[in-house]
Amino acid sequence: MMKKINHMFLLKNVSFAYEKKKILNNISFSIDHGEFVSIFGRNGSGKSTLAKLLAALVFPQEGNIFVNGTNTQESEKIFDIRRKVGFTFQNPDDQIIAKIVEDEVAFGPENLGIPNPNLCELVNDSLECVGLACQRKKDVNKLSGGDKQKTIFAGSLALGVECIILDEITSMLDTQSRSEVLSQIIRLQKEKKMTIIMLTHHIDEIVLANRVLVLEKGKLIADGKPKEMKKKFFDAYEEMKPKFVKKKTLAS
């Protein structure tokens, strides 16, 4: 019988540098299948770089990363990993390939040779899921940044990934689309047992996750329950509070 691997991700003493600049420093943690984890930290703390390492888009200079038991440095397994892990970039323009929304969503599954009738259904369901069904014939480049991110998100769903990494997906969305997308994410995690990793610098968003990893200057400084993390970091991350939250007074 095949041994079941519990960890979707396992990082052991991972360090990463761009040129000589160290971006991530000796990071170790694991994420189990079906967890909803938020990675929180200031601008430049290394969130996007960490996410790219998890998705095997870049590789550590020190330490190892295992995705579902496979080391990301095993180059012949790279496409297996990328089929399991969907990534929605912070800047969707870097990721869009096709001209029309439905073609963009179909791109991944089409490359896998999924037959046409199933492909149509997959694309439909995925677009429905992100609330873009009525925009399917539109030019992707004419969509708002948030809708471009939703299109890429739909593409990952159509591909049938096990894990979705969302890099600041809500920063380009208005309040209503933000809550719609977040409730879809929560539903996917609950119903499909997907692993969700959400990068954010909005402290109000971390409470949606089951667990929060806090990055500071490339180091993992905390790993815990969202409510505890919010309490602990709420004042330290003053500039990251949502605008509508009033500053605590000394009396309160």
Ligand X SMILES: Nc1ncnc2c1ncn2[C@@H]1O[C@H](COP(=O)(O)OP(=O)(O)OP(=O)(O)O)[C@@H](O)[C@H]1O
List of residues contacting ligand X (CB under 6 A): 18, 23, 41, 43-49, 90, 201
When asked if residue 189 is in the footprint of Mg ion (CB under 5 A), the reply is no
Determine the angle formed by the axes of helices 101-111 and 145-159, rounding to 10 degrees.
30
Residues in contact with Mg ion, total (CB under 5 A)? Answer: 3
Binding piece for Mg ion, criterion CB under 5 A, among 65-73, 88-96, 118-126, 127-135: 88-96
188 CB-near residues (< 8 Å, 6+ apart):
129, 157, 164, 194, 196
* Nearer of residues 80 and 216 to ligand X, judged by Cβ: 216
Token pair, residue 109, equals 């599954």
Q: Which does 72 bind (CB under 5 to 8 A by kind): ligand X, Mg ion, none?
A: none
Maximum CA extent, the chain = 65
* Nearer of residues 136 and 148 to ligand X, judged by Cβ: 148
248 CB-near residues (< 8 Å, 6+ apart):
234, 235
Residue from the set 38, 45, 48, 195 that interacts with Mg ion by CB under 5 A: 48
Q: State how far the Cα of 135 lies from the Cα of 55, in Å rounded to an integer.
A: 28
Report residue 227 CA to chain centroid gap. 20
State the minimum distance, in angstroms, from the CB of residue 52 to Mg ion.
Answer: 10
State the minimum distance, in angstroms, from the CB of residue 122 to ligand X.
Answer: 31
Token pair, residue 203, equals 């402290």
Q: State how far the Cα of 182 lies from the Cα of 178, in Å rounded to an integer.
A: 6
- Would residue 69 be called left, alpha or beta, if left means φ above 0 and alpha means ψ between -120 and 50 degrees? left
Q: Which does 18 bind (CB under 5 to 8 A by kind): Mg ion, ligand X, none?
A: ligand X
* Nearer of residues 40 and 233 to Mg ion, judged by Cβ: 40
Q: Which does 244 bind (CB under 5 to 8 A by kind): ligand X, Mg ion, none?
A: none
Binding piece for Mg ion, criterion CB under 5 A, among 17-25, 39-47, 52-60, 99-107: 39-47
Q: What is the DSSP letter of 5?
A: P
* Nearer of residues 51 and 129 to ligand X, judged by Cβ: 51
* Nearer of residues 90 and 177 to Mg ion, judged by Cβ: 90
When asked if residue 156 is in the footprint of Mg ion (CB under 5 A), the reply is no
H/E element, 13: strand 7-18
Binding-site ranges for Mg ion (CB under 5 A): 47-48, 90
